[in-house]
């Protein structure tokens, strides 16, 4: 098992301030994706991903933040920062109740960075070591109201905020943006085996955590060198739930 990656980050904070140091997970580390509810991880798990409202737990804790869309029922953001099409909120077609954030202008991005940045600071204060910024690819579901450049500009703001708080930052999905210099330290991806995208991420990052939701995708991902893979059920449920699935690649 490779040791954790320690990254020195210049450019965060005021000019002349010392570089921040963040630590990415270890290459090839076994991880547990626990967004459906916190629970004791299985033996051998070194990295645990949990929602920002949960306790970080032991090992290397990663904080999940829905950074480009709302959580269902959430009212934490001003209405004018939510994307609209003809006055109607733009909703993720696959996840009812999740509305896209409006990252279309520099002013809105700055205002959103203040809000979401507060969540990132909260992750650090709670003891998380890193953050996963979900729905980076929301522009692909915006009906053309947002584009890749909007997402990239917002990502840069949030990466800077996270680094300033001492957090490593994971790119989430969006293979089009892998290796494009946005400042991400590692990646958390879903179904890269199912969609034949894994090497896009492993070419860009030394550490890639992949969650697969199908047996076929899991088998494909387990054949990719340098990839940490977990098979989960789509609801990422907890032990004891009839739908619960949590598997890791067989030892080579």
| Predicted local confidence at residue 1, as pLDDT | 39
| Predicted local confidence at residue 7, as pLDDT | 64
Residue 38 has pLDDT above 80, yes or no: yes
36-52 average pLDDT score: 96
Cβ neighbours for 240, distance < 8 A, ≥ 6 positions apart = none
Cβ neighbours for 61, distance < 8 A, ≥ 6 positions apart = 47, 48, 49, 50, 127, 128, 129, 130
Q: DSSP code of 236?
A: -
**CATH topology for the 4-248 domain:** TIM Barrel (3.20.20)
Q: Give 45's pLDDT tier (boundaries 50, 70, 90).
A: very high
- CA–CA separation, 34 vs 203, rounded Å? 26
Percent of the chain exceeding pLDDT 90 equals 85
68 exposed, middle or buried (CB, 10 Å; 0-12, 13-18, 19+)?
buried
DSSP 151-190: HHHHHHHHHHHHHHTT-EEEEES-GGGTTSSS---EEEEE
Of the listed ranges 1-5, 58-62, 115-119, the least confidently predicted one is 1-5
| Predicted local confidence at residue 74, as pLDDT | 72
Residue 50 has pLDDT above 80, yes or no: yes
In this structure, are residues 34 and 103 in contact, taking their beta carbons and an 8 Å threshold? no
Q: Is the dihedral of CA 229, 232, 236, 239 positive or negative?
A: negative
| Predicted local confidence at residue 71, as pLDDT | 86
Q: How far is the first Cα of the chain from the last one, in angstroms, to the nearest whole number?
A: 13
Q: DSSP code of 129?
A: S
Average model confidence (pLDDT) across the chain: 91
pLDDT 10s digits, 174-197: 999 999 999 999 999 999 999 999
In this structure, are residues 51 and 119 in contact, taking their beta carbons and an 8 Å threshold? no
Q: Per residue in 116-142, is it b (16+ CB within 10 Å) or e — as a string?
A: bbebbbebbeeebbbbbbbbbbbbbbb
pLDDT 10s digits, 111-120: 999 999 999 9
pLDDT 10s digits, 130-144: 999 999 999 999 999
In this structure, are residues 230 and 214 in contact, taking their beta carbons and an 8 Å threshold? no
Residue 13 has pLDDT above 60, yes or no: no
Tokens representing 108 are: 């809105």
30-40 average pLDDT score: 96
80-102 average pLDDT score: 93
Q: Which residue has the tokens 């990502």?
A: 155
- CA–CA separation, 148 vs 137, rounded Å? 8
């Amino acid at each position: 098992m490779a040791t954790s990656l320690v990254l020195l980050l210049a450019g965060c904070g005021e000019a002349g301030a010392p570089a921040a140091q963040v630590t990415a997970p270890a290459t090839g580390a076994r991880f547990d994706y626990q967004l459906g509810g916190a629970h004791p991880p299985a033996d051998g798990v070194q990295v645990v991903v949990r929602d920002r409202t949960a306790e970080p737990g032991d090992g290397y804790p990663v904080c999940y933040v829905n950074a480009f869309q709302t959580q269902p029922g959430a009212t934490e953001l001003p209405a004018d920062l939510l994307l609209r099409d003809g006055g109607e909120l733009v909703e993720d077609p696959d996840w009812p109740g999740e509305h896209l954030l409006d990252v279309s202008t520099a002013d809105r991005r700055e205002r959103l960075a203040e809000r979401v940045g507060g969540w990132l600071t909260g992750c650090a204060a709670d003891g998380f070591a890193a953050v996963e910024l979900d729905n980076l690819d929301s522009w692909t579901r915006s009906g053309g109201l947002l584009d890749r450049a909007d997402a990239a500009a917002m990502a840069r703001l949030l990466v800077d905020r996270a680094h300033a708080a001492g957090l490593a930052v994971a790119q989430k999905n969006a293979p089009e943006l892998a290796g494009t210099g946005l400042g991400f330290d590692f990646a958390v991806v879903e179904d890269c085996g199912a969609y034949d995208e894994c090497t896009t991420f492993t070419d860009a990052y030394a550490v890639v955590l992949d969650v697969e939701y199908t047996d076929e995708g899991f088998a494909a991902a387990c054949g990719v060198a340098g990839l940490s893979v977990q098979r989960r059920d789509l609801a990422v449920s907890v032990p004891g739930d009839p739908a619960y699935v949590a598997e890791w690649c067989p030892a080579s």
